[in-house]
Structure 1
Amino acid sequence: MQLTIQAAGENVKAISYLLAKNPNNLYERSNKGHMVRFFYSKCTDTELEATIFVTPDPLELIQNKSNSYDITHYINDREFAVSSIFTSFIRSALGTALNGQPKEEYAEWVNHRFPFRFEFGPVASSLTDQQLKELFEPIGYEVTITRPEIDYSIHIKDRSSVRTISLAGMQTLQNGLRHLFVLIPVIDNYKHYFIDEKEIEKLERYGEGWLETHPLRDFIYRQALRFKEIYSLVEAANTPLEKKEPAKAVRLNDLRYEKIIGLLETRKPSSVVDFGSGEGKLSAKLGFLNGVQEILAVEPSQSATLKAVERFTKLQDDDLFTMPTTMWGSLFYFDERLQGKDAMVLCEVIEHIDEPRLPKALDTILHDYQPASLIISTPNREYNEVYAMEDHFRHADHRFEWTRTEFENWCNERNHQNLYELEFHGIGEEQSFYGHPTQLCMFKRKEEQS
């Protein structure tokens, strides 16, 4: 099973820097017994062709599994077709490009669109050619589907049932790979791995910016999540399967907001500062917090603030809603208007700041602004192992991601004047060895210091 990436035109050699693979070397790695290879057949300033392919070990796929004696493991084609198995094998090899994190000097090419052709196969799928085209054409590809000719000694059929899919279009490399990593498993007739909450987060991460507007979005979600219990079909048992709909998925971001709101409810603040408020999603929820009278949505981005204002305006007629006040601001500029508030929140903010600059920012908050409560949430790097992206950050703009120990140590160091009590919490599904996907610390100002 293989994927070939082709591009022609000016500056296409830059793609090799995004892939983080030397054109002069063969990349060869063993992934749990399966051999992953990557090589360039062309790499010039105007032509590039690179192929990644996997030689699987079908026995390794079933080793130590409870159903290892099921004969269907030996007669099905999934181990040898481009499928969910294939994407899991190559994720590590293509992780730099998939996450848009090349070396700093090549970062300018991450958002550059090239005339790509992605060709992958063999594809074994129950979807028709037309259905396959309807998956890829709305996101800007010209789709070509071919079937190999076959010549049996006895007449069974003239053409193979497997297909090769070729996609041509102007795309960034990162978006092209994200399209493939979401839609190749959708094409697959079944997933080889257990589907749990992290599969939702993969869809949201790789589908950001295109999946939410895809005309087959619901179909894609059903195909991707069809075996997960919490997204089970909700119609009556006798409803035809094709008419059943999955239950609404709970997003990690929503769980963060729910946790933050719950913690604030225990503190009963009348004034809250949402630092790095972005498009105002959390601030809008804070507007319904019982007893809150003032919400300051602080954000350095003007475009994000305009979207936040639009969001707040839609809610302003609700009698239970406290209208947030938007403010331009930064953690690195002192603003006396932020002093002495009941609560301050930094939800997924600190990881976007260069690590050496953080101590001064937190000292300003804890010792100058002196909120009664401070809540900080940030990714737990250990959980990246669950996402099979342990060598990469979850977002291209993240400057760091901490383990649970690193985060706890840092919070305790920042509380060097011992003015606050610290509480640590996890958010999202907990894994035995890796904890929760998001970690949170609440600083509670001690009574004698209030």
Structure 2
Amino acid sequence: MQLSIRATGEHVEVLSYLLAKNPNNIYERTENGHLVRMFFNRFEAEHVDVTFFVTPDPIELSRNNAGQYDITSYINDREFAVSSIFCSLLRTALGTALNGKPKPEYAEWVNHSFPLHISVGPIASALSDGAIRELFEPLGYQVEFVYSETTDDLDLTKKHSARMLQLSGMTTLQSALRQLYVLIPVMDNYKHYFIDEKEIEKLKRYGEGWLDSHPQRTYILKQALRFKDVYRLLEEEPAAKVQKADHQRLNDLRYEAIIGKVSALPERRVVIDMGAGEGKLASKLGFVPGIELIYAVEPSERERLKALKRYEKNAEDKTFNQPVSMFGSLFYVDDRLRGADVFILCEVIEHIDESRIPKMMATLLDTYRPKSLFVTTPNREYNEEYGLDSSYRHPDHRFEWTRSEFMSFCETQAELFGYSCTFSGIGENHPTFGEPTQLAEFTRKQVL
């Protein structure tokens, strides 16, 4: 992933001070396994060429992507395209330029426009070239694209083809960086962290002076904020923002729905949270009366360490039943999990190849045979409310099912292994698309 900025003409050497980087030195840091470099290819009185370059660590990403992407530990194949991951590293390395806070003697240059030529990419976007032009041309840029040369018989004009984005225009360095910071995730249709009301403050800060007048403002906001409930916070009073976000954050709604159903079960002594991540759901289960043993099963060591810290903190409350953290997977059998009362898979199955789901269900329902199984997964139909069209909600999702597809699959599995199955939705109910999350509750039939 890289960002190159070239400027020619008078005073362009000032850019090094705005960037707070010595042109004679190579800036090099390691952030979460990613090697971040910044160096000046050319530095003269009237010609400056600087490159910000990220070499991702795919091993780090595959091992620890639960920490990076807030999902279970499955390999993510998008690490080589610029995305919000790239933006977060950009903000760390170039915070001085983004915030417009150079040394006082150079503060007057923050608002000075330079003839900038910017190259950023690779961009792996579902947006067409024309749609990307509509994001940048209103900001005064000339927009061009460069596709990689290849000997394969591929149509490189297809919208999913990776490309380098090249921008040229008279603008301030701060404006250019802020616009890229906002628009790169819009093009990539992905953010690697949970989107909440704090994102609104970022958009206000980095969108100041250009976003409100942008002809694509509504689209940019919806893509940047993703969730309709958060998007609506822009139009609400500050006190109402926090209150509504607290009640409507989809993750919390999932946890609340699952906790409510588990609490109502007559048999809930032993509960298994598969893909427990950093232990948020397992921690809530620790306060449910009637549960005696909780296994929090997670393949990522990094997430398990986070979960242990969470459990230790909660243990200060004498009523907390501390979960047992376990390394585990859905694809090998652990005898300790046999005969549990409850299994929970919260937003896990969509990160597994669809062809492997039947085998996973056989392990759960035929080998482990819990009395109850809860499975939540995205409702693909609701994606239209998020403006995702045919895209998945997250690039690591291997599939997303409609309500009818989910119900059909679950009913087939339930019948095959001697369970009954009921369905419900989680989140705001749309009259056409239903709720954003769908939940299946499997109940083992009694053998007469």
- 2:419 equivalent to 1:409: no
Q: For each residue in 1:203-226, what CA deviation from the matched residue of structure 2 results, as whole angstroms up to 9, or x when unmatched?
A: 3779xxxxxxxxxxxxxx8x9724
- Secondary structure in 2 aligned to 1:432? coil
- 2:257 equivalent to 1:247: no
Distance in 1 separating the partners of 2:364 and 2:250: 27
Which amino acid in structure 1 is aligned with residue 225 of structure 2? L
- 2:257 equivalent to 1:256: no
Q: Structure 2: 5+ residue runs without aligned partners?
A: 7-50, 54-79, 82-118, 150-158, 192-198
- 2:272 equivalent to 1:166: no
Q: For each residue in 1:224-274, what CA deviation from the matched residue of structure 2 results, as whole angstroms up to 9, or x when unmatched?
A: 72424xx6746xxxxxxxxxx742512100000000001111114011000
Closer, same or farther: CA 416–446 of 1 in aligned 2, 3 Å: closer
Deviation at 1:19, TM superposition (A): 3.4
Name the one with the larger helix percent: 2
Distance in 2 separating the partners of 1:429 and 1:21: 28
Counterpart mapping for 1:375-390 below 5 A: 375-390=374-389
Distance in 2 separating the partners of 1:169 and 1:186: 7
Distance in 2 separating the partners of 1:186 and 1:7: 20
- 2:318 equivalent to 1:319: yes
Counterpart mapping for 1:189-204 below 5 A: 203=225
Distance in 1 separating the partners of 2:125 and 2:409: 34
Among 127, 146, 150, the alignment partner of 1:43 is 146
Check conservation: 2:120, 2:166, Cα contact below 8 A: no
Closer, same or farther: CA 192–312 of 1 in aligned 2, 3 Å: farther
Distance in 1 separating the partners of 2:429 and 2:295: 32
Deviation at 1:305, TM superposition (A): 0.5
Among 95, 112, 125, the alignment partner of 1:19 is 125
Deviation at 1:15, TM superposition (A): 2.8
Number of the residue aligned with 1:132: none
- Secondary structure in 2 aligned to 1:425? strand
- Secondary structure in 2 aligned to 1:308? helix
Counterpart mapping for 1:7-406 below 5 A: 15=121, 18-19=124-125, 27=130, 40-41=143-144, 43=146, 144=173, 165-167=175-177, 174-175=184-185, 183=203, 187=208, 203=225, 225-228=233-236, 233=239, 246-249=242-245, 250=247, 251-268=249-266, 269-406=268-405
Check conservation: 1:351, 1:400, Cα contact below 8 A: yes
Deviation at 1:420, TM superposition (A): 1.1
Distance in 1 separating the partners of 2:214 and 2:126: 29
Check conservation: 2:366, 2:417, Cα contact below 8 A: no
Deviation at 1:168, TM superposition (A): 6.8
Deviation at 1:43, TM superposition (A): 2.6
Question: How high is the TM-score relative to the length of structure 2?
Answer: 0.57
Distance in 1 separating the partners of 2:388 and 2:303: 28
Closer, same or farther: CA 332–39 of 1 in aligned 2, 3 Å: farther
Closer, same or farther: CA 40–338 of 1 in aligned 2, 3 Å: same
- Secondary structure in 2 aligned to 1:415? helix
Check conservation: 1:6, 1:117, Cα contact below 8 A: no
Which amino acid in structure 2 is aligned with residue 345 of structure 1? I
Distance in 1 separating the partners of 2:222 and 2:314: 28
Which amino acid in structure 1 is aligned with residue 338 of structure 2? Q
Distance in 1 separating the partners of 2:407 and 2:277: 26
Deviation at 1:40, TM superposition (A): 5.0
- Secondary structure in 1 aligned to 2:144? strand
Distance in 1 separating the partners of 2:436 and 2:263: 23
Check conservation: 2:272, 2:340, Cα contact below 8 A: yes
412-421 vs 342-351, which moves further = 412-421
314-323 vs 255-264, which moves further = 314-323
Provide the identity percentage.
Answer: 37
Distance in 2 separating the partners of 1:328 and 1:357: 20
Number of the residue aligned with 1:422: 421
Distance in 2 separating the partners of 1:385 and 1:274: 30
Deviation at 1:6, TM superposition (A): 7.2
Deviation at 1:118, TM superposition (A): 7.4
Check conservation: 1:298, 1:326, Cα contact below 8 A: yes
Check conservation: 1:344, 1:373, Cα contact below 8 A: yes
Check conservation: 1:273, 1:344, Cα contact below 8 A: yes
- Secondary structure in 2 aligned to 1:386? helix
Closer, same or farther: CA 201–294 of 1 in aligned 2, 3 Å: farther
Check conservation: 2:350, 2:400, Cα contact below 8 A: yes
Number of the residue aligned with 2:433: 434
Number of the residue aligned with 1:210: none
- Secondary structure in 1 aligned to 2:441? strand
Question: How high is the TM-score relative to the length of structure 1?
Answer: 0.57
Distance in 1 separating the partners of 2:234 and 2:147: 43
Check conservation: 1:118, 1:167, Cα contact below 8 A: no
Closer, same or farther: CA 316–43 of 1 in aligned 2, 3 Å: same
- Secondary structure in 2 aligned to 1:421? strand
Closer, same or farther: CA 39–19 of 1 in aligned 2, 3 Å: farther
Q: Structure 1: 5+ residue runs without aligned partners?
A: 47-95, 97-101, 123-142, 146-164, 207-220, 235-244
Deviation at 1:368, TM superposition (A): 0.7
Q: Calculate the aligned-residue CA RMSD, in Å.
A: 4.7
Deviation at 1:291, TM superposition (A): 0.8
411-420 vs 332-341, which moves further = 411-420
Distance in 2 separating the partners of 1:192 and 1:247: 30
